[in-house]
Amino acid sequence: MLIIPILIISALSRFYNNTALALWHDEAFSALYIRYPWGEMMHRIGLDVHPPLYYWVLRVWSYGAGDSLLSLRLLSILFGVLTVWAGYMFLRAAFGKKIALAGALLLALNPFQIQYALEARMYTLGTFLALWSSYFLVKALESENLHAKYWIGYTLTIAAALYTHYYLVFTIAAQGLFLLIYCLRYRDGKKFIAGMASYIGAAILYIAWVPTFLAQIARVQESYWIPPMTAWSVPGTLWKMIFGGTGIRNSILAIATVVTLIILVRVIRRTTNVYKWFVILSVVIPVLAAVALSLRTDIYLDRYFVFASLFFTILVLLAINSLSRPVLRWGLAVLLVASMTFAFFKNWQELGIHDKPGMTAASEVVNLNSSSGDKIIVGSSFIYFTFKYYNETGINPQLISDRPIKDIPHFSGTAILTDDDLILDLNSFARGQTVWLLWTTGFGGSKPSLPANWQMQNEVKTADTPGFKGDIFVDKYQVN
């Protein structure tokens, strides 16, 4: 029953300061999608670049839990805790109970995993499915007979993973490669055939989404916002997969990369359990695939490795467990737990959440002081959708734009924009009109150009969070 206190730790660490962070751009998509009728929601999801399962689950969840910030993020917390439990089940099936408990503790404390349990996004649903599908595959391979329930479970969980996040394709590919290695090693053709049947079954379940998937891929290839990789991209990811945060000095990243290679070699040479290859492939395949694909289209983004982070955490644990001296083994284990705990609190401190209320405070200015006849305009799409979530004025805000929707890049949020959401001519406001302008210096933004006959009456500035390196301004104008 030691898993119970570990699950409690995982829940407490994910509840910590959970609503202190204002809803941000990506989360706003989640919150706004579920306000549409089902048919329109599906249409707009198809116009974006992510699959739909998380939004379906969030929509159903909201029927009982509502759409407050805590309610939205509570679903991610729930799947974050279930991820720790699924990790325990997978490790117990593959490596035994002692490794399972240690691994569950590390997953519970991993700052990178906690970081993305704070977001109303699909990441923790994906981490849960990555580990739960791993559990089903291990149980199917370890069963003496072809137990259909495990293969069916594996089929359904990998199909669900495909409907959750496209990076999970790399995790499934790693599982498939391990299945091939396992069946060749043990000359088990029946289990290989059963595995192939699972992949075919998952593909059949995914067929309905394929046309939308192809359209989304084309949309990403046409234009996307992710910056190009650098020589420090992979080292930075390796560090964050264990300690989270926003960055670290290059010298430390270089050391971390060397340590990672030592860990990899250590596990390969000293761990005899065949499932070490499952763990290794689940780290290496996503990294190599993302790097290779980014040579054509920039898709390499740290947060998309939250799924690989699960297995990298386990890989570190296996390396520590391979040490022969108990004192050294326990010492490094305690040091790792302490380092993760320190990183958890340090990352929160660096965010400076108590001095950076972001859109929570900015929207409150408008909600409390605007009148029904006022107009509200927003200078950046990166805060437009967050304001729409917090907006309680009954006034439909408009996004300042110099072009119609058909000419706007999709990453600016065209999936949930209409032409009525845009204001193309700021000279169209009547004399005497009160206009509220929200704009930001974050995301590389700046104050939009305004007509000369607009007179500012008031300005409020609030620092944005989490760490977008800018402020949100709320300006009140009178049109003369």
DSSP secondary structure of 260-308: HHHHHHHHHHH---TTHHHHHHHHHHHHHHHHHHHTTS----GGGGHHH
Q: Are 171 and 282 in contact (CB under 8 A)?
A: yes
* DSSP annotation of 161: H
User: pLDDT value at position 468?
Assistant: 63
Q: How far apart are CA 106 and CA 88, in angstroms?
A: 10
pLDDT band at 470 (very low <50, low <70, confident <90, very high): confident
User: pLDDT value at position 54?
Assistant: 98
Q: How far apart are CA 304 and CA 26, in angstroms?
A: 13
Q: How far apart are CA 214 and CA 222, in angstroms?
A: 12
pLDDT, tens digit, 9 for 90 and up, residues 368-394: 999 999 999 999 999 999 999 999 999
Q: What is the average pLDDT value for the chain, to the nearest integer?
A: 94
* Helix residue ranges, H only, 18-121: 25-33, 38-46, 53-65, 69-95, 97-109, 111-116
Q: Is the pLDDT of residue 225 over 80?
A: no
Q: How far apart are CA 236 and CA 29, in angstroms?
A: 27
DSSP 190-219: HHHHHHHHHHHHHHHHHGGGHHHHHHHHHH
User: pLDDT value at position 297?
Assistant: 86
Q: Mean pLDDT lowest for which of 131-145, 147-161, 197-211, 223-237? A: 223-237
Q: Are 467 and 246 in contact (CB under 8 A)?
A: yes
Q: How far apart are CA 10 and CA 113, in angstroms?
A: 10
Collapsing DSSP to helix, strand or coil, 123 comes out as helix
Q: Is the pLDDT of residue 67 over 90?
A: yes
Fold (CATH) for 355-479: Rossmann fold (3.40.50)
pLDDT band at 327 (very low <50, low <70, confident <90, very high): very high
Q: Is the pLDDT of residue 164 over 80?
A: yes
Q: Which residues of 243-262 are buried (b: 16+ CB within 10 A; e: fewer)?
A: bbbeeeeeeebeebbeebee
User: pLDDT value at position 221?
Assistant: 78
Q: How far apart are CA 221 and CA 215, in angstroms?
A: 10
pLDDT, tens digit, 9 for 90 and up, residues 271-298: 999 999 999 999 999 999 999 999 888 8
CA atoms within 13 A on the CB side of 257: 14
In terms of pTM, does the model score above 0.85? yes
pLDDT band at 466 (very low <50, low <70, confident <90, very high): low
Give the strand pairing for 471-479 and 398-400.
unpaired
Within 10 Å of residue 302's Cβ, how many Cβ atoms? Answer: 17
pLDDT, tens digit, 9 for 90 and up, residues 238-273: 999 999 987 788 888 888 889 999 999 999 999 999
Q: Are 166 and 51 in contact (CB under 8 A)?
A: yes
User: pLDDT value at position 191?
Assistant: 96
Percent of the chain scoring above 70 in pLDDT: 99
Type of residue found at 242 = I
pLDDT, tens digit, 9 for 90 and up, residues 177-203: 999 999 999 999 999 999 999 999 999
User: pLDDT value at position 145?
Assistant: 83
Q: How far apart are CA 333 and CA 310, in angstroms?
A: 17
Q: Is the peptide bond before 466 cis (omega within 30 degrees of 0)?
A: yes
User: Smallest Cα–Cα separation from 454: which of 375, 363, 344, 342?
Assistant: 375
User: Smallest Cα–Cα separation from 205: which of 147, 150, 161, 167?
Assistant: 161
User: pLDDT value at position 281?
Assistant: 98
In the chain, which residues fall in CATH 3.40.50? 355-479
Q: Is the pLDDT of residue 14 over 80?
A: yes
Q: Is the pLDDT of residue 94 over 70?
A: yes
Instruction: Give the Å distances, CA to CA, from 74 to 35, 227, 384.
Output: 18, 31, 24
User: pLDDT value at position 272?
Assistant: 95
Q: Is the pLDDT of residue 227 over 90?
A: no
Q: Are 457 and 476 in contact (CB under 8 A)?
A: yes
Q: Is the pLDDT of residue 316 over 90?
A: yes
pLDDT, tens digit, 9 for 90 and up, residues 403-434: 999 888 888 889 999 999 999 999 999 999 99
Q: Is the pLDDT of residue 171 over 70?
A: yes
Q: Is the pLDDT of residue 23 over 70?
A: yes
User: pLDDT value at position 467?
Assistant: 60
User: pLDDT value at position 139?
Assistant: 97
